[in-house]
Amino acid sequence: YPANYVVQNTNFDFFNYAGLHRPVLLYTTPTAYVDDITVLTSFADNIGLISYQVSVLGSLNSTLKVTLSDKDGHSVASSTGPSGVLKVMEVSLWWPYLMHESPGYLYSMEVHMTTASEGSVCEDVYALPVGIRTVQVTNTQFLINSKPFYFHGVNKHEDADIRGKGLDWPLIVKDFNLLKWLGANSFRTSHYPYAEEILQMADRHGIVVIDECPGVGIADM
């Protein structure tokens, strides 16, 4: 090897591709904008509960309106302010594939921010798919919506013979069709977090994801 040549000694059990694996986006924001949204979901009987907290940057005097719509676009709950609880009557819970006749049910949560300053109005809107569900782990069971869930799935890599680890929408669609054809309800991201687009697709299909941290090659402590 030439002088100062570096050899990677990390012990991967997959091909460690170089380069850009996922889309890179350049974007701008208004002077005041929605920076972050935190959502926690639960339910009691037939009432769904969505606790939310919205972070706004660039302004201390913004007006926030939060609305929740069902799959048909009908508004089912609304609230105002940077934090609160949305109550959904006759809630449709998010269920895994093959655990319910309508798996992967997602509501659409829309945060609308308005800021008036020096005679001008600044607006920002952010939409977030939300599945209403609970997850609990006991000594012997993994529970989704208080019912035992059995993991029937596979270990999976972001890999393909054409794009390597690059994000490829047709391949993603093919993979999810194969998972459902197998009767799988879950997969493990061996051994790194996946692209956000894949996790969103899993949410829509009702596929449970074990999202593994990138700890390959680290010795056991």
* CA 104 – CA 40 distance, rounded (Å): 17
Pairwise CA distance, residues 146 & 91, whole Å: 15
CA angle 103, 107, 111 (to 5 degrees): 155
Residue 83 pLDDT greater than 70, yes or no: yes
- φ/ψ region of 118 (left if φ > 0, alpha if ψ in -120 to 50, else beta) reads left
- HSE value, Cβ hemisphere, 13 Å, CA-based, for 178: 9
Q: Report how many helices (DSSP H) and strands (DSSP E) the chain contains, helices first.
A: 2, 13
β-pairing, 47-57 vs 83-89, is antiparallel
Q: Which amino acid appears at position 113 of this protein?
A: M
In the chain, domain spans: 1-23+151-221, 33-135
Averaged pLDDT for residues 175-195: 94
The proportion of the chain whose per-residue pLDDT surpasses 70, expressed as a percent, equals 96
Say what the pLDDT of residue 34 is.
95
Q: What is the pLDDT of residue 133?
A: 98
pLDDT for the residue 220: 54
Is 56 in a helix, a strand, or coil?
A: strand
| Amino acid (one-letter) located at 4 | N
Tally Cβ neighbours within 10 Å of residue 38: 10
pLDDT value of residue 221: 46
Q: Residues in the chain, how many?
A: 221
Helix (H, G, I), strand (E, B) or coil at 77: strand
Mean pLDDT score, 159-176: 90
- What residues pair up with 147 in beta bridges, in sequence order? 144
Q: Which CATH architecture fits 33-135?
A: Sandwich (2.60)
Describe the crossing of helices 196-205 and 169-182 by its angle, rounded to 10 degrees: 40
| Residue with token string 């798919």 | 129
